[in-house]
């Protein structure tokens, strides 16, 4: 008896016969491109925060110069400011990487994505801080350099390490670090402190809680999930909105105090009144929505958050234009 083996024949031409493509090695290391690495390190510095800080630096230099400040000192101050702010923000990213990885708003930052190692990020932040101190010291003056260094140290040790996770007043006092650019811009031009930059320092100080708490109202669950006691986490929406309203009123009154202190003219005074009215109206709307029982996104707190950025930018731009028209 014979066994017959039947072999199936592929009717397609031999040239079209395909073979399975080998799967990639699961252990292969994919090296990031230079662009990805640069993007990751830039992300550590939080460029949007740097932009906001520079907005409060340059206009004060116009006030200090009673006109247009020298280009060299402006450029040198901007470079030092970028380096200093980038340093503080990078170290902040390192220290907060555990909670950043859990929060929706921050989980795409470089460290939670493991795009940069904590050790490399720390070294990067320290180098930026040293460069900022030396650059401002040698090319601007040592008073401005010392102020920038003090702001960095306070942001890292005072806010990030001491206040942020321990007290509901974290952003109130921790926000002091973000007020220093007004002092740095003034001293960069004059070499000394005065009451005018102190008033603007206080404007930013009272602006910071409404700005930050409105954002925290939107991302309340994020902060609650990592036990960061932002005011919206530990207080009701009505209580938070009342606090925002109170700080907003004091902020507007402080902005108007620049008139008698610095002798500002029509442009700044009008801007302070109009912008202040608009800010208070937005804060009041938030409070009214809270009284209706709205919560979370229904409160629409991001309206106030976004307008707070516009308010600060336009107020300081008006402060820069004012001496040019007098």
In terms of domains, do 183 and 306 share one?
A: no
- DSSP code for 236: -
Sequential pLDDT tens for the chain (326 residues): 333 333 334 444 444 444 455 555 544 456 778 888 999 999 999 999 999 889 999 999 999 999 999 999 999 999 999 999 999 999 999 999 999 999 998 999 999 999 999 999 999 999 999 999 999 999 999 999 999 999 999 999 999 999 999 999 999 999 999 999 999 999 999 999 999 999 999 999 999 999 999 999 999 999 999 999 999 999 999 999 999 999 999 999 999 999 999 999 999 999 999 999 999 999 999 999 999 988 888 899 999 999 999 999 999 999 999 999 97
Q: Tell whether 31 is covered by a domain.
A: no
Q: Tell whether 2 is covered by a domain.
A: no
In terms of domains, do 170 and 254 share one?
A: no
Report the alpha-carbon angle 144-165-210, nearest 5: 65
Residue ranges making up the domain that contains 127: 43-190
Q: At which residue do the structure tokens 């252990």 appear?
A: 27
Q: Tell whether 230 is covered by a domain.
A: yes
CA distance 11 to 13: 7
Q: Tell whether 174 is covered by a domain.
A: yes
In terms of domains, do 204 and 162 share one?
A: no
In the chain, the number of structural domains is 2
In terms of domains, do 57 and 151 share one?
A: yes
Which of 166, 190, 214 delimits the end of a domain?
A: 190
Which of 190, 217, 239 delimits the end of a domain?
A: 190
CA distance 297 to 78: 36
CATH code of 48's domain: 1.10.357.140
What tokens does 267 get?
A: 């442009």
In terms of domains, do 200 and 109 share one?
A: no
Q: Tell whether 302 is covered by a domain.
A: yes
In terms of domains, do 199 and 248 share one?
A: yes
In terms of domains, do 198 and 308 share one?
A: yes
In terms of domains, do 233 and 272 share one?
A: yes
In terms of domains, do 121 and 201 share one?
A: no
Burial zone of 54 (CB within 10 Å; 0-12 exposed, 13-18 middle, 19+ buried): middle
In terms of domains, do 126 and 166 share one?
A: yes
In terms of domains, do 294 and 218 share one?
A: yes
Q: Tell whether 29 is covered by a domain.
A: no
Whether the pTM exceeds 0.85: the reply is yes
Q: Tell whether 14 is covered by a domain.
A: no
| Residue 46: Cβ within 10 Å count | 19
In terms of domains, do 181 and 220 share one?
A: no
Q: Tell whether 5 is covered by a domain.
A: no
């Amino acid at each position: 008896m014979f066994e017959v083996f039947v072999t199936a024949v592929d009717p397609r031409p031999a040239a079209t016969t395909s073979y399975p493509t080998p799967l990639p090695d699961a252990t292969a290391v994919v090296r990031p491109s230079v662009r990805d690495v640069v993007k990751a390190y830039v992300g550590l510095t939080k460029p949007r925060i740097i932009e906001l800080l520079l907005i409060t630096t340059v206009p004060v230099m116009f006030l200090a110069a009673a006109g247009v400040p020298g280009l060299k000192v402006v450029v040198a101050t901007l470079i030092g400011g970028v380096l200093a702010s980038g340093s503080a923000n990078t170290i902040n990213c390192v220290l907060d990487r555990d909670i950043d990885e859990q929060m929706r708003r921050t989980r795409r930052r470089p460290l939670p994505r493991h795009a940069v190692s904590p050790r490399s990020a720390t070294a990067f932040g320290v180098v930026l801080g040293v460069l900022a101190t030396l650059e401002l010291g040698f090319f601007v003056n040592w008073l401005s350099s010392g102020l920038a260094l003090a702001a960095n140290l306070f942001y890292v040790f005072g806010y990030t390490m001491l206040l942020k996770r321990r007290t509901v007043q974290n952003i109130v006092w921790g926000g002091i670090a973000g007020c220093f650019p007004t002092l740095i811009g003034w001293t960069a031009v004059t070499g000394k402190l005065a009451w005018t930059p102190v008033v603007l320092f206080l404007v930013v100080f009272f602006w910071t809680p409404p700005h930050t708490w409105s954002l925290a109202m939107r991302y309340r669950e994020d902060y609650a999930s990592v036990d960061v006691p932002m005011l919206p986490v530990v207080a009701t929406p009505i209580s938070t909105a009342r606090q925002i309203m109170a700080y907003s009123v004091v902020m507007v009154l402080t902005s108007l105090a620049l008139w008698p202190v610095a002798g500002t003219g029509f442009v700044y005074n009008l801007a302070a009144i109009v912008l202040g009215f608009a800010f208070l109206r937005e804060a009041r709307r938030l409070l009214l929505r809270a009284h209706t029982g709205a919560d979370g996104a229904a409160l629409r707190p991001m309206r106030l958050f976004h307008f707070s950025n516009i308010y600060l930018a336009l107020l300081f731009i008006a402060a820069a234009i004012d001496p040019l028209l007098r």
